[in-house]
Amino acid sequence: MTQMDSAITSDISYAEWGVAFFADAVSVERVLAGVNVLSGQVIDVGPMGVGPGRIVKVVASGQIGVAVGRRVSDVPACFEVALPVALEFAIDLGMDKHRFLADITVPLILTARARADLAIVLDVAPPRADQVVVDLKAQGLRASITKYAADVEGELRRFVAKYVARELDKDYVRAARMIDVSSAIDKAMTSLGPRTRETPGSP
């Protein structure tokens, strides 16, 4: 038996096993899977008023991209996740329209919580508008000037922060952010049960 084999087969305490299991169960990949149920979801914005008097109107459309992230601590198990959103939109000045592209990043903090029923829940802190990063690309000089006058970036931050927070709180996303350990074990044990013996001559 090699040294590695010995390490794998050696006994550890219940507490050590629990810590190791929790760390393995709550991987970066599983955390991202719980967020990426939103990937590809279409976002429609507006028309919404921006700027002084809310006279200028903005209409936008786009979709949520694929999140990336990393583990930042083990106890508690905490992860930083960046959720990208791509939007294409137009500012309607009444007599003129200007078009923009926006690459938006929504930062999320997810923390794994252990429940008494052997479920692991990934809690997510709702993003704040001031945390949302907007990279706005205007098409033309006049459009570049317009974006500052109309405070488009600020409105987009507020809208996207509220939108993502609302989506993360929906039932199907909550379900994706839970690892039901007990049910997974029951399912695995069922698959190990006795199988029906095939009769002779059956295909």
**pLDDT tier at 188, thresholds 50, 70, 90:** low
Is the CB of residue 87 less than 8 Å from the CB of residue 156?
Answer: yes
Scored b (16 or more CB within 10 A) or e, 177-189 reads: bebbbeeeeeeee
- From the list 73, 100, 69, 68, the residue with the least C-alpha distance to 87 is 100
What amino acid is encoded at 4 in this protein?
M
pLDDT for residue 178 is more than 90: no
pLDDT for residue 157 is more than 70: yes
181 or 70: which leads in pLDDT: 70
What amino acid is encoded at 153 in this protein?
E
Please give the pLDDT value at position 198. Answer: 55
pLDDT above 90 coverage of the chain, percent: 21
- Global pTM value: 0.76
Please give the pLDDT value at position 99. Answer: 81
Is the CB of residue 56 less than 8 Å from the CB of residue 92?
Answer: yes
CA 197 remoteness from chain centre: 45
Query: Mean pLDDT, to the nearest integer, of 49-59?
Result: 70
**pLDDT tier at 74, thresholds 50, 70, 90:** confident
143 or 4: which leads in pLDDT: 143
Ranges 24-33, 46-55, 182-191, 192-201, most confident: 24-33
CA separation for the pair 100, 140 (Å, rounded): 9
**pLDDT tier at 132, thresholds 50, 70, 90:** very high
Please give the pLDDT value at position 203. Answer: 53
Is the CB of residue 126 less than 8 Å from the CB of residue 95?
Answer: no
Q: Which helix (H) or strand (E) holds 71?
A: strand 68-73
Show Cβ contacts of residue 34 under 8 Å, excluding neighbours closer than 6 positions: 110, 122, 173, 176, 177, 178
Instruction: Kindly give the pairing relationship between strand 178-180 and strand 133-138.
Output: unpaired
What amino acid is encoded at 167 in this protein?
E
pLDDT for residue 134 is more than 80: yes
pLDDT for residue 31 is more than 70: yes
Tokens 């252990």 correspond to 114
**Mean pLDDT of the chain, nearest integer:** 79
Ranges 53-57, 69-73, 136-140, 151-155, most confident: 69-73
